[in-house]
Amino acid sequence: MASSCVKCFLQKSGEKLRTSFPWLTYSWSPTFKAGCTLCQAWAKEAGCASTRKRQFIDLGLTTVASLRPSRLQRHESQSEFHKKALEMHEHSGRQTSDVSSKHHPPQLEFQELVRVLREERKTLGRAGVSGIGWQKKCRQMLWCLAESSREQKRVLWTPRRLDKNFTVSCTIMQDARRNKLRLRYVAANSRMEIRSGYLCTVDMCDAGMDSSAIRKATVSALRQFATPKADIAYNTHHHPVGAIDESCQFFIRCGQLLNILTISRSNQSSPEQLCSSLLDSVEAFVSDAAYDEVKAARLLRGNGGDFAELKNLRILTRDKPHASRRNLSRGWATDAFLNEVSERFIFGQKSPARLIEYSPMFSAVFQQRVQQLEDSLRAVKSHPKLGDLRFAPHRFDSCARPCGRACLFLHPLLLTMVQVAKDRKGKEEGQAAADFLSWVTPERCLQLAMQADAAEENLTFTRSLDREVFPLEDLTFTVAGFRDRLEALFAADSLDEAVCLKTGYTAHMLRLLRQPFMLPSGSFSSAQGVPAGVVKRCLGRMANWTLVVRKTLEAEFPVFETIQSFGAFKVTPTIDNRMSQASLDRVAQFGHLVDVFRIAVDLDNVDAEFMRLRHIAMRFASQQGLSSGQGIDSLMFSWQYFKLSLDQE
């Protein structure tokens, strides 16, 4: 009967006991008995004659009362023998089978926890996750996953026995918003290993958001990242480090759970060495245009006369995706007509985009009109549930989606406004719809289509830059390609040469405006289409906007910027070789990089050596579909392997 009661007790509370007391072990052969694994191991070496202590050593716990958490907690916190056993266990670095492998959750539980948090997007409340455990256990498992991920990241800064002249170069990217400072990184070492990812988030509510506070928070975040096993979740029982190490066997990357190998302690650097190596490796710092963040980066470099925490910081630059987003907001605001079109269609307080977005009734009407659209007027196949323009007022660069949908479904949009004006006559929404219908003209619709093409090109440009591992050698050519596409679309000398009139939203809008369409106020469009004079006026406005964008690009992506000099390492062929030869002065760019990074080399020899190996890197890149940087990495890896083979011979 006693055995049966113990069995029921363990079925109910066994998992919680194993999580809270990982040293607890028990056996059912032939009867139930439990004890302490640590005390057992230490007694074999030091011996123990105390009868009371022998209960935990000889598996003398046989009743439910002896397994109560209060009894086990008293043994863990008050037993000097147990404390000594734990101290010797941590000092020796050995991991007994019970502590190291038996009491950490299995791999399937880690996988299920990640699946629930990623796919179901649940938060860890007091109940935790069904089938895994309560909140405490789930948070400890998440800490183990995060710590194992940090361990893999720290390997990049850890030299190995055979490494000679080991170096690391790191770029820190930060963004402060809503009293939160978020840090990400991209780093590479002399072993040709490249890693990137999330670094840390710092709560700035108490410290403030000035440059001095951001500077201290950045250094604190880097030091915390370099400290192993910091801030262990619910670390109130001082669990053996071995149990935590064995639990950190899995980490998440790219949405998948991967098995990893634990790093041998002989290859690990001390926290002080790792922190020093991390701070010394930071050579580039990226932030947005906020003054406090820019000033904090300069203070970290020592420009304020104080101690320089990042003494090797060479490059301070602003976030390029943020810079690219200003092409639309700045350019459209300079032209009253472009600004009016974007406001009345999309961003205005009573625009059709807002009315449809925030009214389920108007959205249902628009959805019905889209489904009733004739096939001859369709440019794309719409989803049956499409019922809005996907308007997001807080993201100006996302206007490509609402502008594009307004062009693709112009007739359903106008019919929806007609019905709103009729059904809500005398109300604010009805008056807004009626004002829009009296304002809209074919010229304004054509201008909207050209702006949609421009927004789509700018969004593509922003997305190409918005990558942690964006190849810097392609930056010059990416900017030049974006500028050339805009000029081909809108800055042609004649209507026949304007590419936007032959493809994209503009071409579709011209086709729609050649279809007869009636509004309550009269005819909106006819079979004659848009007059050539109207098309020229619209193209003229877009040509002026293109000129503003050119000046904006020159300010946001200056040719004298250090990161532009990395274009010297481009080995992949370009579509226009003349552009490549005209925009790439290798010797000057190599000289700029040598001056910035203070490298004592002969520029002529560097250029000659690069040109000698450039064709090999180009072959690697073209055959394996790699970028220029990856092609050079493959070349250097092959060269190091070749030198190692010669040394072994």
Q: Decide if 138 contacts 113 (C-beta within 8 A).
A: yes
Which of 342, 517, 359, 346 is closest to 424 using CA atoms?
359
Cβ-defined contacts of 297-306 (< 8 Å, 24+): 299/211, 299/212, 299/215, 300/215, 300/218, 300/219
User: For 270, which DSSP code?
Assistant: P
Name 14's bridge partners: none
CA separation for the pair 332, 545 (Å, rounded):
7
Taking Cα atoms as reference points, which of 610, 630, 612, 611 lies closest to residue 621? Answer: 630
Rounded to whole angstroms, the Cα distance separating 364 from 383 reads 14
- pLDDT tier at 268, thresholds 50, 70, 90: low
- CA distances to 96, 189, 236 from 77, in Å: 21, 45, 11
Q: Quick one: CA dihedral 84, 88, 91, 96, positive or negative? A: negative
Residue extents of the structural domains in the chain: 2-95, 135-318, 323-556, 581-648
- For 24, the token pair is 């607890």
Angle between helical axes of 442-465 and 320-333 (0-180°, round to 10): 160
Amino acid at the residue 465: L
Q: What tokens were used for 41?
A: 């191991």
Q: Say how far apart CA 499 and CA 493 lie, in whole Å.
A: 11
- Nearest Cα residue to 418 out of 444, 437, 435, 402: 437
- Tell me the percentage of the chain whose pLDDT exceeds 70: 84
Q: According to the model, what pLDDT value does residue 240 have?
A: 36
Show the CA angle centred on residue 114, arms to residues 112 and 118, nearest 5°: 120
The residues, any chain, with a CB within 8 Å of residue 598's CB and separated by 6 or more, are none
The residue type at 487 = E
Cα distance between residue 414 and residue 190, in whole Å = 61
Structure tokens belonging to residue 282: 């930071």
pLDDT tens digits, 54-101: 778 878 888 888 888 888 888 887 888 888 887 776 665 544 434 444
Greatest alpha-carbon pair distance for the chain in Å reads 107
- Place 575 in a pLDDT band, splitting at 50, 70 and 90: very low
Q: How many CB atoms lie within 10 A of CB 630?
A: 18
Where is average pLDDT lowest: 100-114, 274-288, 506-520?
A: 100-114
The runs of H, that is alpha helices, within 424-570 are 428-439, 442-465, 475-490, 504-512, 532-556
93-110 residue pLDDT tens: 544 434 444 456 777 788
Compute the 3-state secondary structure of the chain and give helix, strand, coil in percent, each to the nearest 5: 60, 10, 30
For the segment 119-160, what is each residue's pLDDT rounded down to a tens digit? 776 677 777 887 788 888 888 888 888 888 888 888 889 887
Please compute the mean of the pLDDT values over residues 324-350 and round it to a whole number: 90
The pLDDT tens digits for 376-434 are 888 888 888 888 888 776 665 578 889 999 999 999 999 999 999 999 998 999 999 99
Asked if 246 contacts 237 with a C-beta cutoff of 8 angstroms, the reply is no
Whether the link from the prior residue into 30 is cis, omega within 30° of 0, is: yes
Question: Is the whole model's pTM more than 0.85, yes or no?
Answer: no
Q: What percent of the chain has pLDDT over 90?
A: 24
Output the average pLDDT for the chain.
80
Question: Cβ(572)–Cβ(622) under 8 Å?
Answer: yes
What are the pLDDT digits (tens) for 212-253?
A: 899 999 998 898 888 888 777 776 544 333 333 333 333 333
The SS3 of residue 231 is coil
Cα–Cα distance, 90 to 97 (Å, whole number) = 14
Residue 47 backbone zone (phi > 0: left; psi -120 to 50: alpha; other: beta):
left
- Residue 595's Cα: distance from chain center in Å? 32
Distance between CA 187 and CA 171 in Å, rounded? 6
Would you say residue 511 has pLDDT above 90? yes
